[in-house]
Amino acid sequence: MPDVGWLSSAHRVPSPNCDERPAGETIRLVVIHAISLPPNEFGGPGIIQMFTNCLDPEAHPYFREVRDLRVSSHFLIRRDGELIQFVACSRRAWHAGVSNWRGQENCNNFSIGIELEGCDQLPFEDAQYMILDRLLAELRQRYAIEAVVGHSDIAAGRKTDPGPCFDWHRVRDAGR
């Protein structure tokens, strides 16, 4: 069986936190997120462990608060530009939660989630923007992407990411 929806340019770390998209649903939205685990710390194994349900609640006090979450994203772009894929684009990753875009609920059904290792208080790295542009170009070649939005755009009042330090002007053709 072919690897439908997996990108050869990404390091593959499969997450169990995904399922099938609804029948007839097409990918038309990209949602940009920011994540750091523990909060405001970068480079550790926390994000990968969370997305693969292996987070040790004793490794950091914050991990106890989020240990029962079952979340994922299609992609993660680390601070150094490393691209990791957790879920095939053909499947639904659990990244958006309660969400709405142009009157359509449950954005997970028709979107691809991209996490950037980051937080609201610090700028993102040049390497992240470079890889994000390449990834968006590849996704646009494969899918009829109508817009690239932030998590805060589809979950207003509930989420702030990718946050005030994310420079939308650096994202080529964001389509916001």
User: pLDDT tens digits for 76-114?
Assistant: 999 999 999 999 999 999 999 999 999 999 999 999 999
- Beta-sheet pairing, 147-150 with 104-105: unpaired
- Beta-sheet pairing, 104-105 with 11-12: unpaired
State pTM to two decimals. Answer: 0.95
Q: What is the pLDDT of residue 1?
A: 41
Spell out the residues 6+ positions from residue 164 whose beta carbon is closer than 8 angstroms to its own: 120
Structure-block tokens of residue 72: 């994922």
In 3D space, the residue among 121, 53, 45 whose CA is nearest the CA of residue 84 turns out to be 45
Instruction: Give CATH for domain 11-170.
Output: 3.40.80.10
Alpha carbon distances (Å) from 115 to 58, 69, 72, 143, 157: 24, 16, 9, 19, 19
Q: What is the pLDDT of residue 171?
A: 87
Number of H helices, E strands in the chain: 4, 10
* H or E element at residue 79: none
Q: What is the pLDDT of residue 4?
A: 84
Average pLDDT (116-131) is 97
Residue 176 has pLDDT above 90, yes or no: no
E strands within the chain?
11-12, 18-20, 29-35, 75-77, 83-85, 91-93, 100-101, 104-105, 111-117, 147-150
Residue 149 has pLDDT above 90, yes or no: yes
Average confidence score pLDDT of the chain: 94
Average pLDDT (31-49) is 97
Confidence of residue 124 (pLDDT cuts 50, 70, 90): very high
Residue 142 has pLDDT above 80, yes or no: yes
115: annotated active-site residue: yes
Active-site pick, 20, 58, 82, 115: 115
Task: Map tokens 């997120």 to a residue.
Answer: 33
